[in-house]
Homo-oligomer: A and B are copies of this chain.
Amino acid sequence: MLELRHLRSLAAIAETGKLVQAAGRVHLTQSALSHQMRALEAHYGILLFQRTGAGLRFTPAGQRLLQLARVTLEAVAGAERDLARLQGDTRGDLRIALECHTCFDWLMPVMDEFRGRWPEVEVDLLAGFHSDPLELLKGGRAELVIGSQKPRGRDYVALPLFRFEILAVLPLEHRLRGKRRIEAADLKGETLITYPVPEERIDLIRQVLKPAGIRLARRTSELTVAILQLVASRRGIAALPNWGVRNYVDLDYVIARRIGARGLWSDLHAVVPRALAGRPYVGEFVDIIRSKCAAGLPGIELL
C-alpha cells in the first residue's frame, strides 16, 4: 500500500534523476530504492520509469505519482509547521552573516521562500563583510553564519549545506588556456584577484599556493562582477565557485579551469548557536538552502 515514504523517494528520484543519488537524500541504499519502486510498480501494475543507461525517466504514470508526491509532501510540510506553532512559540530572529561573498547569488530566493513559510520569524541579512563572522554569533549580533569555517566549541553547531568546486578563472587568451588542469606552479607571477578578506580565508592560497611555497601579488574587489571584469581585462586571475562563473564562461567572457588533479573543493555549513539548532525554522532554513541550491546550482554536491 502506498506510503509517504514512497512519495519521498519518488520526489528524490525526480530531483536527481538517479537512484544512487536519490538514495543518499532519503538515507537509504540504492538497492532499497530499486526494491521500493519495483514494489510500487507491481502494486499498481504499471511501469513508473523507463530505465535508461543514465538513470530513470518517468513514464506518464510515474509523473502522475510524482505530482501527487509534490502536492502531498508540501501539504505535510505545511501541517508540520502548524504543529510546531501549536507546540510552542516559533517566533524569533534570524540574522544571517555570510563568510563567502558569492553566497549572495543564491541567498535571496532562499530568504524569500523562507519568509513565505515562517512569516513570524524576522530574517535579516547582515550588511557588509566581517573578518571573522563567527565572532558575530558569539557577540549575539547574528544567529546564523554561512561559510566553510567550522566552529570550535560545543556552544555552536555546524549544519552541513553543500560542497562546491572552486575554479581558476582566466582571461580568454591566457597562456594557460591550453591546460585542462591548473597546478600551483603554473600560476607563478600572476596577480590574484580576490574579495577583500585575509589570506587564510582564501582557499586557493591556504590549500594550494602556500603548500607549494608560492606567493602571488593580490588585488581585491568586493563584487563578483568586478572581479570578473578585472580578469577579463587581463589584470589578473581569480578563483571562484563553479556556479558563480558558469554564466560568464558560457558567454565566452572568461574561461575556467579545474585546480589540481581532483579539483579544489570547499564545504559550506550553516553555523548556529546550539540553543537555536532545535528550533523548527532553523532546520527548515537549512533545508530550503539545500534544496534550492541542489536544484539551481550546477555541479554542487549536497553534504
Contact = CB atoms under 8 A, between A and B. Distances in A.
Interface of A: 1-5, 44-46, 60-61, 64-65, 67-68, 71-72, 75-76, 78-80, 82-83, 86-87
Nearest to A86: B61
Contact of A64 (B1, B44, B67, B79): B79
A64 B86 contact: yes
Nearest to A67: B79
Contacts of A78: 68
**Prevailing SS type, chain A contact patch:** helix
Copies of this chain present in the complex amount to 2
A80 B60 CA distance: 13
B4 A86 contact: no
A3 B9 CA distance: 13
A290 B155 CA distance: 57
Contact of A87 (B5, B46, B75, B87): B46
Contact of A5 (B3, B68, B83): B3
Given A46-B86, A46-B87, A68-B76, 10 more contacts: A1-B4, A2-B76, A44-B80, A44-B83, A44-B87, A61-B83, A64-B79, A64-B83, A68-B75, A75-B75
Q: Which 10 A-B pairs have the closest CB atoms?
A: A68-B79, A46-B87, A61-B86, A3-B3, A3-B4, A44-B83, A64-B82, A4-B4, A72-B72, A45-B87
